[in-house]
Structure 1
Amino acid sequence: MPSETPQPSFVLVRPQMGENIGAAARAMWNFGLDRMRIVAPRDGWPNPKAVAMASGAGRLLDEAQMAADLPEALADCTYVFATTARPRELTKPVFSPEGAMKKAAELIGQGEKVAVLFGPERAGLENDDIAKANAIITVPVNPEFASLNLGQCVLLTAYEWRRQADTVPEEVTDLGKNDWATNAEIEALVTHYEDRLVEAGYFFPPEKAPGMKTVFRNLWSRMRLTRADVQMLHGIMRQMVRWKEHSDK
């Protein structure tokens, strides 16, 4: 069983080589992290090459949560970081690894569930992946050679978590009778709005629709919503649709 120590989940998104998954597990366990999630590994699962590379950290692979896609992997999370070395055209807070793990420690100390995304080895996370995150982690590497191995990136982030872990605050944010919305609840809300906007012809012209949807989803990920906020926004959209249908009669 994973330890009960408060910590973020490290999510490997479409990893390609078993050796790199094993190296990531070993890096995590070096710094006391044992909550690994794996999204759609290229070579299937389980992977004997991952086990061999993990050495003494094989338990993390045995207990890793498998997910078919990213929304499934993030369903219970309330705050998500995405690691990337390349500049993106998405408006998000950008943290250093140290700053990100300090923020993660604060959020986890308040009872939130935090995840950190790591992309596949060939090109890293795609914009659609990053659009689902609340913030970006960028490592200050040599601009002429910015590529980090998956295991190296996990190691660096895990190290910064270890440095911050002892500073997790004891207090919990008072949300009254409310809770932060989970990623699954946000995903359902965004899908609700996106579907209605598709019906209204908002995403036009067709060739620009995919990019418009990515920007639209990125907008939602920048907002911290409670479950009450989500329920209210669902109600607003339902009422607008009912009003439109009534006015057309």
Structure 2
Amino acid sequence: MKEAVNHSWTDSITSADIVISVMVIAALIVLWVSVLLLRVVRFYVKESINPTPFATAEEKEQRRLEEEARRALEKNKPTIWSKLMQLKPIEDEAELVMDHQFDGISELNNPTPAWFMALFYGTIIFGIGYLLNYHVFHYGKSQEEEYVAEVQKAADDKIAFLASPENAASAVNENNIVLSKDAAVLKNGQALFATRCPPCHGDHAQGLVGPNLTDEYWLHGGKIKDVFKTIKYGVPEKGMIAWEKSMSAQQISDIANYVLSLQGTKPAGPKAPQGNKE
């Protein structure tokens, strides 16, 4: 089997493939030689036009000294960071020493950088402008004035929101809700009650884990506003969840009206009264 595979592989390499490979290698060699010849020709033309003179020993030494001086000058040239921070090189420290000393310590005459002074005076100018704007001419509002304006704007936005017809479902709240005996409201409240409240209050609001909702006793108030508020915000410490996250204000209003319509229905197996009588 192995011999057959090797034989098949050798048969797949034709003479044309060998010729092409040789031609590619030859082309690469010719290209390399051409580059070398081009460099030689370029050097010859350059020397023919501007021949390099042979330097004497004295000229070579002079060139070496000039190169060292140039490198030393570049080394001592201040960097962009040194210019920005106005830093002085350590070689110039002797020229910066001031005459007086204290406890054997000399002081250098290093002035504050220009960028820092510009920033310092800029803060002073800004402070003067701030003082004139907010406390002298009162062009700008103070923090207290901005707070009052934002509170007023929020109140206006709330009134506009509640007045809009498309937001009627959210217009009712614990401050403006009124008791309703409308049949449609009570029917919708009954349907909502049946899908959310029986686990705690029973199918007929007779009370299970939660209190009986059909008697005259209330833990958190028995007025329509109290019932609405209790349903909306819940009583977390007693296991009553806040329904405002899963029901609209109108739905909460319908349930509250339905609960109050159950007063005096006297369902079977009522839970004992809890809270205060109203």
Greater relative contact order (CA < 8 Å, ≥ 6 in sequence): 1
TM-score computed with the length of structure 2 as normaliser: 0.17
Larger radius of gyration: 2
Structure with the bigger percentage of helix: 2
Structure with the bigger percentage of strand: 1
